[in-house]
Chain A
């Protein structure tokens, strides 16, 4: 392991004198100090969230998400005329919207930093690539959570029109949060791959589309491949959660996708620095 000691001035919020601290920057691992790593992640998360909400792009993305979802849920597929009190169809539309929403959110996470050169600046700070990636990914997850909160009027209205079972609703939202977090992790990894935001968006959209569509392709596949392809299909795991069954297999699956994608994103950043 290569340790690169650096002394970084840290500005405190209360205005007291900044103190200098030596933080090891390791290759391929977190800082030795878990508390420092957590502080770094939170600092990046706050910076990203501030950037998101101060930027019109996020407003545009969230507004567009609400409008597109409304067109599908209240227009094409009117839930108020559906005859049954269920969130399954709205959940499907939300999941479909996420395939494009998340790449739009994540495309600038690392690509923008690399294009503008601010990644080099970040490299001078006592943060590991892993902390950068996790912080930025968490910011995207917060945005996903915001998007999901904006859809809450749908189940509330449905509950006023019949006996809505809140168990599957909770499962569906958990599934969307996990699926959204997995999409965000994939988007973060593709954003680390390139400096071009459009390329990052297209790569992420393609990478998210494949597991999203895998379920639909099952009838066309050779029988031997069906279990494996079904398992990597987001729809399969999401459907499990959306019908109200919290299955440890689905949680492990989404967790694995997130962990591997984030590790790849961190590795890509480290690779760029080392190459």
Chain B
């Protein structure tokens, strides 16, 4: 078998039974792998209406056929489950080294079912697979868990995926962490793992991914390596400054959400930017498995050494909380990694709490810690810790901003879509991004169709960020191609340099299929529709394809996007039409049949 390894590991945590199943190659290819295959299996195996934190929910940890292969950036794996935060399908994607190690051990995916009677971890070394007691690791932070597990299993080259205390406490914004600092961050997938009493998965693999056409792959890799190196973003911007290089451009364009999206320009953004990070804190660039870009940052602040912060994290804790002290943003990021929290949702929830306190909804008497005030470094650090540890009001924050704001009767102060916090781009300044946020199948998210690329960065071509016409077509194309890239097991950042033909060529050479570009896009569209159908069956209404009222009705007051609101109503009908759905946003029978669903 080429690309895929051919084995599925099914673990029933309730009974302790471990089964090895043969991968159904035809199904795998139909959905490519990764996100697509995981979404198909989740749809097939669980009732979409199940309680996400109940034993009836399942977790699919899935690699793509290119994960672990020699393709550029093949470090990705995905955690697919029903989200306890949004109630939608969740697919959280992470890099590092864990995914390729699972492939090397011989498995394309792991299915986790039921709930263990006590804390357990899964140990995998090639054909050896064991469920082991994890009582001694329960309650431990991510780096300590990782270090201890590696020592205890006596496999120094093994890779560790685990949850931190936030996941154990079933926080709805908990992440699944791997290789200490990489995160399958979004949608509360760490909380689902915690609900199953599974602390970690340690994997060591000594095999490798076979290639269908080794010579052709080699030729192709040389061409693609050159493209990645010659591209300004992947060859220079990301390696030099990391993702945080975006701080200044997004701020200068007047779409850098500030103080819970109350403003969109942060005057002191430059003090906490990618340039400042590189000048003052960067100790080493970090690359995921076989990645030529190396956008990861190893940073030092005082005694602390950690990875990050990424752009989204930096924004969530700086501008969005009104803090410009980069030291403290780095410390908050490190805490998220240690407790296993989604940095976007964690920072955005603190920002929401700050607005709730500012407007008098949260009373000082409730605040068992530093005052929740915009600009407070002490608040971002201590409330992150309290969220991670589930202490007092921190436990309420750990359920995310929507439930927090709703508990005070003002859910509209949560800057979220489908209850998931929006990331670091004010969609009033990029109209296509507004449409993409509203229609993302996992709620508020930037990596389901990154229209910032054409609307602001000019890649692959510059389009007018304030126009609404044509954005439905852009949104669909980006969403479908992203579903393909995720499912292949590659990093989305390759798409700054590579095009759809390049991905098709890689797939054909490594897996040994003979797909056209159109067939590949159809697979992406199939995955998108499958996710939509799951969400509708889970009870998510098309009316939830919307944005917070503030973004729809309140124009931006200053800066490069002044005067703009998100004109969703102008774009949504065109989007549903572009997708071949009913005007109400429901995929038609004909569309689903055409996609072989």
Are these two chains actual partners, yes or no? no
